[in-house]
């Protein structure tokens, strides 16, 4: 596990494209162009530099197979500056060997070092594997947005999890 840098651009583009092809339970459903991915990565690295975000990627045999981050959810609002939003994904053939757990635990430590006090995340209500992981590392379910997701002609509830750190 390590922090991302700009050399990861093509690996991150391949990574998100593979998740989109899989139709993983993430909100992104279209592949970004290389320019869009470069713009996103540039913004993320700038936020890390400013102390508004932390991120970890994971590699197996030199291949980037996981990406995760915690970003201050509203850095412009001082009264919410202690709240972070977490995102995580592991490629299919690297799942179930503990990478997700290790990344979540490390991100929580890094979020503490950012002086965050609360970390939140939103997830499809159908993503029970992810829910198990979140609960295992201490998150609790705190809310539900009924029909928060519309996919393939059906509505899916969106669940919010949170942890105090």
Ligand X SMILES: CC(C)(COP(=O)(O)OP(=O)(O)OC[C@H]1O[C@@H](n2cnc3c(N)ncnc32)[C@H](O)[C@@H]1OP(=O)(O)O)[C@@H](O)C(=O)NCCC(=O)NCCS
Among 28, 63, 105, 132, binds ligand X (CB under 6 A): 132
Is residue 123 within the footprint of ligand X (CB under 6 A)? Answer: yes
Is residue 69 within the footprint of ligand X (CB under 6 A)? Answer: no
In terms of DSSP bridges, do strands 83-90 and 53-60 run parallel, antiparallel, or are they unpaired?
unpaired
| Token pair of 115 as six digits | 């002086």
| Token pair of 101 as six digits | 């757990």
For the CB of residue 121, give the shortest distance to ligand X in the complex, in Å: 6
- Rounded distance, CA 19 to CA 31, Å? 9
Coil, strand, or helix at residue 75?
Answer: coil
Is residue 42 within the footprint of ligand X (CB under 6 A)? Answer: no
Stretch that binds ligand X, among 7-15, 24-32, 41-49, 105-113 (CB under 6 A): 24-32
CA 33 to chain centre: 20
For the CB of residue 37, give the shortest distance to ligand X in the complex, in Å: 17
Q: Which residue has the tokens 């840098």?
A: 5
The residues of the shown chain that bind ligand X, judged by CB under 6 A, are 24-26, 88-90, 95-101, 123, 127, 129-130, 132-133, 136
């Amino acid at each position: 596990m390590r922090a991302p840098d700009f050399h990861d651009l093509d690996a991150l583009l391949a990574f998100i494209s593979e998740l989109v092809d899989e139709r993983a339970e993430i909100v992104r459903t279209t592949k970004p162009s290389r320019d869009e991915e470069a713009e996103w990565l540039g913004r993320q690295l700038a936020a890390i530099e400013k102390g508004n975000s932390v991120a970890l990627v994971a590699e197996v045999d030199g291949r980037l197979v996981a990406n995760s981050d915690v970003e201050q959810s509203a850095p412009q609002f001082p009264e919410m500056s202690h709240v972070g939003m977490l995102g995580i994904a592991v490629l299919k053939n690297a799942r179930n060997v503990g990478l997700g757990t290790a990344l979540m635990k490390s991100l929580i430590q890094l979020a503490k070092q950012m002086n965050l006090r609360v970390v939140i995340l939103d997830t499809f209500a159908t993503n029970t594997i992810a829910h198990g992981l979140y609960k295992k590392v201490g998150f609790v379910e705190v809310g539900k947005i009924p029909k928060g997701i519309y996919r393939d002609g059906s509505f899916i509830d969106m669940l919010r999890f949170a942890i105090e750190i």
